[in-house]
Copies of this chain bind each other. A is one copy, B any other.
Amino acid sequence: MDSYNTPISDMYFALTSLANIDEFSSNSQNSDVSSENIKLLLEEAGKFAKEKLDNINSKGDHDGIKLENGLVRMPAYFVSAYKSFIESGWFSVVGDKKYGGQDFPWSVLVLINEIWESANMSFAVNNMLTQGAIELIQEHGSQLQKDRNLPKLISGEWSGTMNLTEPHAGSDLSDIKTKAIKENGSYLLKGTKIYITHGDQDMTENIIHMVLAKLPDAPPGNRGISLFLVPKYYKDKKGNKIKNDIKVVSVEHKLGHNASPTCVLSFGENNNCRGELIGDPHLGLKAMFTMMNNARLNVGVQGIAIAERAYQKALSFSKERKQGFSLDTENKEIVKIIDHPDVKRMLMEMKSQIEAMRGLAVITGETIDYSKKFSNTEEGKNYLNLSSLLTPIVKAWCTDQAVQITSLGIQVHGGMGFIEDTGAAQYFRDSRILPIYEGTNGIQALDLLKRKLSLENGKTFKKLLEKIRKDSDLCKNNPLDDIVEMGLILNSSIDSLEIAAKWLVEELNKNPKNAAAGATPFLNMFGWILGGWVMCKSSLNAASDETNNLSDQFYKDKIKTSLFFCTTYLPSASSLLSTVKNSYKTINTII
């Protein structure tokens, strides 16, 4: 079996050349996050991932989880891996320093998270949700809530979950039925939540559920939803540990993520489920969505991670498997399949997309970092707007492509790809949830159309296009022909994107349904073009004379990979303009 290897060169390149971690680090007076430190950290994380997480990924998929006496049992080797994980301090990369966290910037977090998600997504999704809970409590919790929960969550001794969906309320939460009633200073919750990832498990001492529910005096719709902190165990006044009234009704049998329990949770069947209000009454959905914006970036990162893992497996197989003859007439030996141009092309599709996606995620992470660093200033607001614009694209584009890339991973394996023991199929299955959860990709496309394109009256979008145009102009003036070529292609695709956006914004005012019919093709178009931009930027930097620690070959490969990306995907991205503008004309045939 192959095993996971951290793509350290490309990660380091993204962090130093697309983002500028050293500049951020010196601006923030945070010497922990110098590029050299982070490189070592990524190497260490990769080692842990390879030795403790990747090696149990396929086994976890096979064994799955069990529901026994109303409690979820993880595979025993997940429990012990989790123990090592928190003992090694890997959990505390997030979170305020005063609560024990290392408060790493997002540009770094996306890479660390990628490593865990590549190695074992069923395991890592627990971190992802706990990171969300930490963020929610940090931003909206009372001092007491912070003091009580953050140290335990940041250390990883406790975990966090997100409880939004109900059977009739998924993409639209306005009509949730879960109720909360105030009683003796705390709240009693009652209701059923579904699709709760790691809704129960036996790896942590306690689980902090973040639950959306309605207070009795709630106004109707989205403005009447409050956020509650509902622990699996709490302490009564005497300090006794009490099991809260939360029942695991069932766990789902899913296409993938088999070692990640997806629970139906029933709160308050015995009318005794205790929770605490987080933040202001009725403003819970807003708090949840602030946090979800970053969670969406993380789901995009999951897409990159699973694609990377599928790529590594396919690449490794292609170097072992011998089959068929070379098309070179002089070579009469049976060759490794990597020598077949069609196999190379599939691998190049995977590689080039992964690098573009990773670069985009790191750039988005850096944007969030600066938005926080300069919060409450004009500059910070600009960064915040830009990250808000980019996030739905990272989420949807990277996860749609993850499904394609893991599918290509199967294809490279031929017949063996369809056999579960090979392992390629698991990545394909695991990837399929990513375009769905944390807001379906269709919801992301509508978010982009309705809320993000109009940020600052369209200026955020405009400024981003200007950046891309500037880089494409730099490409056109580069001495290397390859870079000139990609610059020209990028340039013409931006024109199409601008026309599409203009049409959509106008149509959204006149006939919102017409615009909505073009939302997804527009998001895809935007994703490919941002990917092209990232690859052009990468090539400009790779071609520059600045010295660094990477071998020359890496730079040469980066430029070729970028050229592949631009010549393969940008022409069809531009052609999506037709889909954006025409879809509404015909789709009402579907009734």
Q: Which of B334, B341, B583, B590 contacts A587 (CB 8 A)?
A: B341
Give me the interface of A with B, judged by CB distance under 8 Å. 165, 168-172, 175, 194-195, 252-256, 315, 322-329, 334, 338, 340-348, 351, 403, 407, 410-411, 414-415, 417-421, 425, 428-429, 432-433, 435-437, 440-442, 445-446, 512-514, 516-517, 519-521, 556-557, 560-561, 563-564, 567-568, 571-572, 574-579, 582-591
- Report how far A567 CA is from B338 CA in the complex, Å: 36
Q: Are A578 and B584 within 8 A (Cβ)?
A: no
- Expressed in whole angstroms, the minimum distance between the Cβ of A446 and any Cβ of chain B is 7
Q: Are B445 and A418 within 8 A (Cβ)?
A: no
Q: Are A568 and B582 within 8 A (Cβ)?
A: yes
- Besides the contacts A253-B421, A428-B432, what 19 more A-B pairs have beta carbons closer than 8 Å? A170-B415, A171-B323, A172-B323, A194-B415, A255-B428, A255-B429, A340-B442, A341-B519, A342-B520, A345-B587, A346-B442, A348-B587, A403-B407, A411-B440, A418-B432, A557-B589, A564-B583, A568-B582, A572-B572
- Report how far A516 CA is from B436 CA in the complex, Å: 36
Task: Give every chain B residue within 8 A of A324 (Cβ-Cβ).
Answer: 171-172
Knowing A442-B411, A561-B586, A579-B568 touch, does A418 contact B256 (C-beta < 8 A)?
yes
Knowing A171-B414, A338-B591, A436-B418 touch, does A512 contact B403 (C-beta < 8 A)?
no
Task: Give every chain B residue within 8 A of A440 (Cβ-Cβ).
Answer: 411, 414
- Report how far A567 CA is from B583 CA in the complex, Å: 8
Q: Are B590 and A347 within 8 A (Cβ)?
A: yes
- A-B CB contact pairs (8 Å), 21 listed: A168-B322, A171-B324, A172-B324, A172-B334, A195-B415, A254-B418, A255-B410, A255-B425, A342-B445, A344-B587, A344-B588, A344-B590, A348-B589, A415-B437, A521-B568, A556-B589, A560-B588, A561-B586, A567-B578, A567-B579, A567-B585
- Report how far A315 CA is from B591 CA in the complex, Å: 9
- Report how far A587 CA is from B437 CA in the complex, Å: 34
- Report how far A327 CA is from B511 CA in the complex, Å: 9
User: Copies of this chain, how many?
Assistant: 2
Q: Are B442 and A415 within 8 A (Cβ)?
A: no
Task: Give every chain B residue within 8 A of A575 (Cβ-Cβ).
Answer: 571-572, 574-575
Q: Are B340 and A516 within 8 A (Cβ)?
A: yes
Q: Are B437 and A341 within 8 A (Cβ)?
A: no
Task: Give every chain B residue within 8 A of A589 (Cβ-Cβ).
Answer: 348, 351, 556-557, 560-561, 564
Q: Are A420 and B254 within 8 A (Cβ)?
A: yes
- Expressed in whole angstroms, the minimum distance between the Cβ of A259 and any Cβ of chain B is 15
- Report how far A579 CA is from B575 CA in the complex, Å: 14
- Report how far A591 CA is from B433 CA in the complex, Å: 31
- Report how far A532 CA is from B415 CA in the complex, Å: 31
Q: Which of B195, B325, B441, B568 contacts A578 (CB 8 A)?
A: B568
Q: Are B563 and A513 within 8 A (Cβ)?
A: no
- Expressed in whole angstroms, the minimum distance between the Cβ of A527 and any Cβ of chain B is 14
Q: Are A433 and B419 within 8 A (Cβ)?
A: no
Q: Are B437 and A345 within 8 A (Cβ)?
A: no
Interface centre among A194, A411, A421 (most CB of B within 10 A): A411
